[in-house]
Structure 1
């Protein structure tokens, strides 16, 4: 799951001397949210599409709108998720350790990689449970599920405060009533639950989980 295994190289990195019109035309062709800028052969930053609309001149005129974000090619693809969310981007520039632009990774690339994992691909039940911070234990949560002869596909912290933690989990559909009762007995509060074993709901499950990853 290293970034370098998913890099695409067909999206150019512009120079400040390039025209705004050429950059805007390229964005229209690709459908991305940002263009990338290099300066003195090193990656310099990105400019959002909104700043290119109805503008003329060169990209130098928009230098004050440059945002500095990129990901190193030897990082894990999970490291890119916060960048997509923080910069409201559907494309992230990839650089090497010398800060040279080597390509990009798109939102779709991440979605396709994650959707192959059981957390997203398996049909099952989605639960969000809440517990006091002092009691939080992912090991205990997994044990509760597996002790009721259900499969634990994975989970993540979807909310955290000084007092409480909410954990969203994906499990198989076996013995759901028993799992609910066991969580209640161990003082876990079920905040949300979605039970379905229909194959037609798989895409909905995947997209919902991916959105939650983006938001944290």
Structure 2
């Protein structure tokens, strides 16, 4: 799950001597609004179609533009989580990947990163999602897993985030290998755990649509 594994080789880097009109042509062809800019193998930042249209000079050299997000890069061996975090911090839909000598290797798009992130959360696996709210001091995945396993279920993946209902608590999202939650919910509540939401699979929902929907629920987007 390292960044270099998800480099999208279909997205070309712009060079400083390229022209703005070529950048727009490439953006239209690959359906993106930004492209990375590279000089002598070093990543300089991203150029957006918005800036090109604003300056309205199709023959302008790429090197004469001001680039966005020059720090929007990760090292090749960083986890895919770091790619998503970096993209979120910079507000862009792709992240440059460089080696330890800061030489540009390519970019990872958010579409590819989120797909990889979904796989790590077992989102494609059949089962339900349950979300708990608790104080961090009460958090023990071992204990929660033990309780869930008494109902012949297992935790496929877990995700911790801040509880939007209480700043002093965390929200624990669990993907389980069972679709039926009634007995699991009752057992968790009997042990004092507060369930703030849950999602069960519905028959007839396409796998691709369900995969994206479940991912957005995981990320609270």
TM range (shorter): 0.7 to 0.9
- From 72, 75, 80, the equivalent of 1:77 is 80
Q: In structure 2, list runs of 5 or more residues that go unmatched.
A: none
Question: What TM-score results when the alignment is normalised by the length of structure 1?
Answer: 0.84
Equivalence for 2:34? 34
1:129 shift after superposition: 0.9
Superposition deviation, residue 16 in structure 1: 2.9
Q: Give the Cα separation in 2 of the matches to 1:202 and 1:74.
A: 31
| 1:128-187 residue CA offsets vs partner (Å, 9 max, x unmatched) | 110122211222222221121112111101325652111111113366222212221222
- The residue aligned with 2:160 is 157
CA distance in 2, matches of 1:214, 1:32: 24
Q: Is the 8 A contact 2:81 2:117 kept in 1?
A: no
Alignment check: 8 A CA contact 2:129 2:199 kept: yes
Q: 1:66 to 1:154 in 2, by over 3 A?
A: closer
Partner of 1:19: 19
Number of aligned positions between the proteins: 216
Among residues 106, 122, 125, which one is paired with 2:125 in the alignment? Answer: 122
Cα shift readout 1:3-54 (whole Å, capped 9, x = no counterpart): 2233233422223332222112211111224211123431111233322234
The residue aligned with 2:111 is 108
Q: Out of 66-75 and 130-139, give the one that drifted further.
A: 66-75
After TM superposition, give the deviation of residue 69 of structure 1 in Å.
Answer: 0.8
Cα separation, partners in 2 of 1:194 and 1:157, compared to 1, 3 Å: same
Q: Does 1:184 align with 2:189?
A: yes
TM-score, normalising length: structure 2 = 0.82
Q: Does the Cα contact within 8 Å between 2:42 and 2:103 map onto a contact in 1?
A: yes
Supply the RMSD in Å over aligned alpha carbons: 2.7
1:44 maps to: 44
